[in-house]
Amino acid sequence: MSKVHNFSAGPSILNQGVLKKAAQAVENFNNSGLSILEISHRSKDFIAVMDNAVALVKELLEVPEGYSVLFLQGGASTGFLKTILNFMKQDGTGAYLNTGTWSKKALKEAEKLGKLNMVASSEDKNFNYIPKVYPISTNDNYLHITTNNTIFGTQIKNIPVSRIPLIADMSSDIFSRKINISDYAMIYAGAQKNLGPAGTTLYIVKDSLLGKTGRTIPTMLDLRVHADKGSMFNTPPVYPIYVSMLTLEWLKANGGVEWIEKVNQEKADLIYNEIDSNSIFEGTAAIEDRSNMNVTFVLTNPDAQADFDKMWKEAGINGINGHRDVGGYRASIYNAMPKESIQVLVDIMKELAKKYDLANS
């Protein structure tokens, strides 16, 4: 089978070594004769998986004391609700920075359960930039941000200094760069970009800030319940947690977050440099706000589309079409994306430019 270069925005590429170990565990986990899909979540084998996954998160992100690390179900979209119920007071207000589709969805959920204050938005320019200046009121219960915007290809480079609890949806850039956990009241992230398969969501939450809203919270949405039970209040998503653990082991073995941040910058530079120097292509995000995870671009010559599409398909490239709402192209280059795959795309872009330069000369 020929090599496939997976630029999918998510579920996304996994490290090949991780995939092999995960596949083996489906047949026979820990030489138990049982599949990882069959074992009890109360068994000592899986409890060891959960404990190791939590310990790796704490180590790799340098999580300080006083924070719980949880692996839960429901996706980051359920995190929109958990944010409101666990941090917005009964008659309070949540502040939101609106930088793309997912932050907009978080806003809509907030409107259903409480009051909100949209402190700034980049929707006026189709979310192609990150607002730099916006007011943060101490009357708001928290500030919610989406650190990376998969659809529009922007990323918050400078995390805001907030006088109120800061909550971040990091679904598409968690573990891609160093962060200071103590700056946040809560971070949540769906696994299916940089951690593992869809099915579990990582929460890192400051324990002392829970239980302060005066709300009656449904049990499954109450983060105190899950923290008290070590993510085991109900049956956890066993396999996604196991694969996430394998990914974290891979990350640690290669040098951790500091290592992958440098690699990610090299990968991003490779493709952005080609976009900027190639007359056939144009980036869609403001240069200072470009994402290192999702590279969005368009063709400057529509006549070249058929040739470009044919070339990247023949090269084994997958998942590079832009989101259906915006069109164009999107190369998602998450942690597990090898530099070699990006070079394949860049070489095609160069070849296309040569073809059209000759045609126009």
Query: What is the C-alpha radius of gyration for the chain, rounded to an integer number of angstroms?
Result: 21
Catalytic residue among 173, 193, 267, 312: 193
Closest CA to 171 of 159, 184, 186, 189: 189
- The yes-or-no answer on residue 183 being catalytic is no
Q: How far, in Å, CA of 207 to CA of 204, rounded?
A: 9
Question: Residue 105, exposed/middle/buried by CB under 10 A (0-12, 13-18, 19+)?
Answer: middle
Q: So what's the pLDDT on residue 1?
A: 47
Tell me how crowded residue 81 is: count the other CB atoms within 10 A of its CB: 18
Q: So what's the pLDDT on residue 361?
A: 47
Catalytic residue among 140, 169, 173, 222: 169
Contacts of 228 (CB under 8 A, 6+ apart): none
* Nearest-5° Cα angle at 121, 104 to 61: 70
Q: Which two tokens stand for residue 127?
A: 């979310």
Closest CA to 334 of 268, 271, 285: 268
Q: How far, in Å, CA of 232 to CA of 54, rounded?
A: 13
Closest CA to 279 of 356, 184, 195: 356
**Domains of the chain and CATH, by start:** 16-253 (3.40.640.10), 256-360 (3.90.1150.10)
Q: How far, in Å, CA of 340 to CA of 346, rounded?
A: 10
- Mean pLDDT (10-residue bins), the chain, 361 residues: 85 96 97 95 96 98 98 96 95 96 93 91 97 92 97 96 95 98 98 97 98 95 97 96 98 98 98 97 98 98 95 97 92 98 98 82 47
Distances (CA, A) of 330 to 87, 154, 200, 280: 34, 12, 25, 15
First-to-last alpha carbon distance for the chain, in angstroms, is 39
Q: How far, in Å, CA of 137 to CA of 134, rounded?
A: 10
Rounded to two decimals, the pTM is 0.96
Q: How far, in Å, CA of 327 to CA of 282, rounded?
A: 13
Q: So what's the pLDDT on residue 318?
A: 96
Closest CA to 46 of 36, 55, 56: 36
Catalytic residue among 82, 102, 140, 173: 102
- The yes-or-no answer on residue 193 being catalytic is yes
Q: So what's the pLDDT on residue 360?
A: 58
Contacts of 286 (CB under 8 A, 6+ apart): 128, 129, 130, 154
